[in-house]
Amino acid sequence: MATYTVQDWLNAERGPSIDHAPKKYCYNEQEKAILAFYVGEARKPQIQGAEQESLYTIALILLSAVCEQIQKIPEDDLHVLVDNLVERIRNEKNYHYNNAGIREIVLLFRTLSKLDTFSSRYVSSIINSIFTLADSRHRFMDLPDTVRQDVYTVVEFFFKKYSHILIQSLGISKLVDGFLDLATFEKKAPCLLVVFPLISHMSRSWNLGESELENLFKSFIRYFPIKISGLKNDSLRLSVKMSDCLTDCIVSNDFYASYAFPHFITSLDDHWNISATVMHEICMVICVCVEKYSKEKLAIWSNSLWNSLKLIIWDSQTEDHIQDSLMVIRKIAISLAYNEPNRGESPEKDFLTKYVLEASNDCRSRIIDSPQKFLASTGRIIYCLASCCTQALSLVVTTILPKLLGLWKDLTLASEKKMLLSVINLILRALIELLETTLDIYAVGAIKAIASFQERLIETLSNAVVELKQVSQEASAGKEYLLKNASHFVPALESLALLFRIPTFLTRVEQGMIVQELNKILVNSSKEGIIHIETLAALQKISIYRPTVFADMILPSLLDELPESVTPDNKGKKANMQPVASLLDDLVHISSHPCHRELDIAASKDTNIFWYRNFNCFVDHLFKKMDKLFLIKDQVHFSTAIVAAIFKGLKLLDGELDSSHIAKSLSESPILPYESIWTQIIQKSITINLQNNFLSTDNKRYLSVRNLLNKDDSLDALFLHLVGKIILLVSRSKLNTPENNIVYKFYDQSFTKENTQDSNQVESLFLYQQIHDAGLICNPLIYLVSVYPLIGVQPIENDDKKLTKTKSRLGINKNAGNLAVGAILQILDNKKFLIPRVRTALLHYTQILVAKFHCSIDELQDGGKLLDFIESLVRNSHEKSPQYVIQLYQVIVYIATASFISYDSNLMRPVFKLLTDALDPESHDSNISTLVAQSFRLIPVESEILNKDNYVQVRALRKGLLLDLTKPIIEQYRMQCQLIPQNPSLHRTAKNNFLIAIIGILRNIEASLVLDKFDIEELVTLALDGTNVSNDNNAKAEYIKLVRVLISERPEYMEKHVEKIIERMIERTHNTLESPSDANFECRILAVDVLRLVIENFGSDLTLPKRIMLANELAVAKDDCHACVRQAAAQ
């Protein structure tokens, strides 16, 4: 400890400070001196004045610090010290200086209580002395908030630690009264956050009498409700904490229920004058009380609460009030419900039955008295009651459902019938929710209750469906005003779907009749109408929860609606596929969702997982239909529509899979869920042939498009394109795992005859040889299918960045570069006419080989690497046709995109330079150089192939590098601007090309990156020049957008360029018959928007002539030939 003297400690300038030292058993001479000083010298009553009061406070702080450092004070000394402090707190002689240091004394009480020699006999005098702060002198409320908070904290400490001593010596009544005297006028939140928990503690832990409980309740209920508010997080947290503490006070003793519930009911009855926020707080606290109070106490007040809440729901126009009231009604029912272990308790304690019956009878009476007024609101009450437990649902069904079903015949308005159907629907929803969360043994009663009305319920819903059909037919006959009436019967559709989820509720015959009616409505209703949409949703839900019904009834019935074939018209044009496509689309939405249940019959273990069963069944039927169509002439379009439906369904199903489905697939048989689709779709589109039809062990197989029996027909590109997309989805599905991957399972690069057992067994796609050996290509359309497994394949787990293991497993290690070369040669082969779909497939394939399989590192068969091969093609391109050159640069652009996506250091810069060199119109035809310039916009963006879905890592660093590589192009543009043109046409084309290429990069990179990378003046000049670019409205529009960004982000730099900006924008917006604009309407709209920004940012600085000119030009824009331009100018 520091060796300060007593006088040092009393020096106000130095202030008290004591070193942290280990706890000691007793005190030393210096500490004795400090104690003696405080007890002796510092207590002299003749010392007065503010300066001396501060000395007392310092001395008390010092004393507290000393006491914290020691463990024992002799009992005599401690007794003197405590008496001294108590006397000072009491201040019976009302000395002015004794009111100094109250906080320090109170805290010192707590410190002294922790000493070994502290005796519990001191506690009563300490608490009594603290209570005197709230006497008639009102000293306590004059204390600062922080001091009062400390006092409450110390009282809480003694009340909890020495409660038995205090109760014995002072009595509970005196303790409660003394504490309440302290807290009577308390309003500050930090203090109340100590007061409320202490009240909760006393209410729970002390044996309080009714008078004490009543006094405590009156002390805290006056703060209710605490409004949860505050714009700042701290204020909101404080409000929530205050509300939680007050709520805990209210529920801390069952006695409070008799006072709290009447208080709440009074507030509920006055709900017209309560805000939604306060009403919500009241209802939330009621819910806590309902949950915490005993059932006996709650039962006494449950009906009174119900009588208040029901009026709010039936009469209030405030939706928030209604929702809060429904929440309380439901909470009461849940709290009154039997606990499962106590199901045998006596009927007189069946509080739930009494509560639900009274509420149900009131609801029934209201429905009968005025269905039009009360059906909707009462239905919400019924749902809240019925959904809380099976016992409540049984009571609600028995009491209300018979009246609802009987009311159907008395209702004449469609709107009333809609409300009644909605109430029935809510009851069924409540039952289904309970069945999903309740053990079967407890759900039996609820099922029996609703089963007793089975016939009447089905009859009512069937009558509603009949009326729906009748009204729909009349509406389709020209009475369109009846469509709204038809929509009133829609709730019946959902209710019928819910009936299928109730175990053993519907017989097989009833299921068939309902499905038949729903299928008819689906087929005959307008696809965009609400009836069609809801019927589709009903069939979808039935299929998800009853796959047996789907397989046996829904699917066969709807498939029967498909024609055997489609017939072209007399002129030989395509048949109208719209009805077929529409029905297939409906089938997709019904079947392409994971099932929630297994079939009703036992399924073999080696079949696919049950959640996939509906879709698998749907696809199998479509494949059978396709087999039949292949035998009929002119049915390729029909078959294509089927493949499109499979693709859409697979995409929908795979997108809905979650982790549980994937985990389930891992634990099942080695048969993958999509394996059937993979094998069948490939077999129906591709076949294996032998080269030269020669059967020898050396002959290699090749793939060709399947031949149809009808020689006049053949599978078209769209059919095969969709097949490829299906293969892609299957290849990259989450269901594939490193241990069980469909691509690895069926991928084979062997082409010898002995591995061929059946020419139709083409589940394995022989990609490597097909691409590499051009002599084995029978039909280029084969690429529409064969390239996609590699595009979508999931890399092997823990593979390196170059995917060495994956490439080895696929048989393309060190050969990916050869595959890319083969694909490029196929694209550039002018002898083969490749349709756009095939060319695109090969381009995507090449991109994947670059970005995913890093083929740029492979040594090619003919020497060199992929970059060397590309550069040789460019060198020799001058001898080729323009079409060849265009295709070559298209390949280079796609490769450049892939190389930047994957940040391939071997390709990025060299390939970008090849494209940059091609911008010069003197190197190639000017049209070719312009096309190259326009293709720059493809380089920075992700494509439909180069993304994480296909396991391609998209590198963010590429954007910074692209901006760096763009700077030399800007330099070339500047140099081009300074040259004296020898050929004005080529000079203009070159400048345009540079501008188009530059904005192609900048347009797809965040503005913040662009602004950081380039000098602002350089960007301004570039943007203004770009607005004049010719023959490319896309580039012109992007430059105008850049001007807009610069004005918004850097207005201080743009101010000096205002005149030039106005001039360039007016050149775009001025569009008259005499002087048409060089910009399309999109550019003109953007230019008007830039002028608006100019006026907003710099309007006050414009000269009067400029303002007049702007006004005139905007007036011209208001007369533009395009409505959107006129609208933009008017704004």
pLDDT in tens, 492-541: 999 999 999 998 899 999 999 999 999 999 998 888 888 899 999 999 99
| 399 and 439 both lie in a single domain | yes
* pLDDT tops 80 at residue 339: no
* pLDDT tops 60 at residue 98: no
State how far the Cα of 260 lies from the Cα of 317, in Å rounded to an integer: 26
Residue range of the domain that includes 354: 337-452
Contacts 24+ apart (CB under 8 A), 183-189: 183/152, 183/219, 184/134, 184/219, 185/141, 186/148, 188/145, 188/148, 188/149, 189/238, 189/242
* pLDDT tops 90 at residue 307: yes
Q: In the 8-state DSSP scheme, what is residue 336?
A: H
State how far the Cα of 1107 lies from the Cα of 1038, in Å rounded to an integer: 26
* pLDDT tops 80 at residue 993: yes
| 375 and 426 both lie in a single domain | yes
pLDDT recorded at residue 412: 86
Q: What is the pLDDT of residues 685-710, one digit of tens each?
A: 888 776 555 444 445 566 778 877 76
* pLDDT tops 60 at residue 1084: yes
Q: Pick the residue with more confidence: 658 or 422?
A: 422
| 442 and 519 both lie in a single domain | no
Q: What is the pLDDT of residues 528-538, one digit of tens each?
A: 888 899 999 99
Residue 883 lies inside a defined structural domain of this protein? no
* pLDDT tops 90 at residue 290: yes
Nearest CA among 585, 497, 491 for reference residue 530? 491
Provide Rg for the chain, Cα atoms.
43
| 443 and 460 both lie in a single domain | no
Tell me the percentage of the chain whose pLDDT exceeds 90: 46
Query: Last residue of some domain: 429, 452, 475?
Result: 452
* pLDDT tops 70 at residue 24: no
CA-to-CA separations, 456 to 406, 450, 505, 514, 986, in angstroms, rounded: 9, 10, 13, 15, 86
Model confidence at 1010, pLDDT cuts 50, 70, 90, reads very high
Q: Are 160 and 166 in contact (CB under 8 A)?
A: no
| 1047 and 1061 both lie in a single domain | yes
* pLDDT tops 90 at residue 3: no
Give the chain's domain count.
3
Q: Are 404 and 420 in contact (CB under 8 A)?
A: yes
Nearest CA among 306, 311, 315 for reference residue 286? 306
Residue 361 lies inside a defined structural domain of this protein? yes
Q: Can you tell me whether residue 1077 is helix, strand or coil?
A: coil
Q: Region of 743 please: left (phi>0), alpha (psi -120 to 50) or beta.
A: alpha
Location of structure tokens 């009311």 = 407
Mean pLDDT, residues 40-65: 58
| 509 and 439 both lie in a single domain | no
pLDDT recorded at residue 529: 84
Pick the range with the lowest mean pLDDT from 22-36, 52-66, 1082-1096, 1099-1113.
22-36
CA-to-CA separations, 397 to 450, 489, 571, 1074, in angstroms, rounded: 6, 22, 63, 79
pLDDT recorded at residue 723: 94
Q: What is the pLDDT of residues 119-140, one digit of tens each?
A: 888 999 999 999 988 887 777 8
pLDDT recorded at residue 542: 95
Model confidence at 229, pLDDT cuts 50, 70, 90, reads low
- The DSSP result for 295-322, as a single string, is HHHHHHHHHHHHHHHHHHHHH---HHHH
Highest mean pLDDT among 36-45, 217-226, 749-758, 1073-1082: 217-226
Structure tokens at 394: 């049984």
Mutual orientation of helices 530-545 and 508-524 as an angle, nearest 10°? 150
* pLDDT tops 50 at residue 8: no
Residue 94 lies inside a defined structural domain of this protein? no
Instruction: Give me the chain's average pLDDT, please.
Output: 84
Residue 342 lies inside a defined structural domain of this protein? yes
| 444 and 470 both lie in a single domain | no
pLDDT recorded at residue 291: 92
Q: Pick the residue with more confidence: 21 or 1118?
A: 1118
Residue 829 lies inside a defined structural domain of this protein? no
Residue 412 lies inside a defined structural domain of this protein? yes
Structure tokens at 337: 């419900």
* pLDDT tops 50 at residue 732: yes
* pLDDT tops 50 at residue 1038: yes
Query: Last residue of some domain: 492, 520, 545?
Result: 545
Residue 701 main-chain phi, psi, to 5 deg: -90, 155
| 445 and 464 both lie in a single domain | no
Pick the range with the lowest mean pLDDT from 10-14, 107-111, 1023-1027.
10-14
Tell me the percentage of the chain whose pLDDT exceeds 70: 84
pLDDT recorded at residue 701: 61
| 440 and 347 both lie in a single domain | yes
Mean pLDDT, residues 384-404: 92
| 495 and 442 both lie in a single domain | no
State how far the Cα of 443 lies from the Cα of 391, in Å rounded to an integer: 9
Residue 68 lies inside a defined structural domain of this protein? no
State how far the Cα of 96 lies from the Cα of 56, in Å rounded to an integer: 12
Structure tokens at 20: 């942290």
State how far the Cα of 40 lies from the Cα of 35, in Å rounded to an integer: 8
Mean pLDDT, residues 441-454: 84
pLDDT recorded at residue 13: 38
Nearest CA among 763, 610, 748 for reference residue 686? 763
Mean pLDDT, residues 335-344: 61
| 443 and 461 both lie in a single domain | no
Residue 91 lies inside a defined structural domain of this protein? no
Q: Pick the residue with more confidence: 3 or 852?
A: 852
Beta bridge partner(s), residue 752: 700
pLDDT recorded at residue 94: 67
| 361 and 427 both lie in a single domain | yes
Query: Last residue of some domain: 418, 434, 452?
Result: 452
Cα torsion 466, 470, 476, 481: sign:
negative
Identity at 577, one-letter amino acid code? M
Q: Where are the alpha helices (DSSP H) in 833-865?
A: 836-851
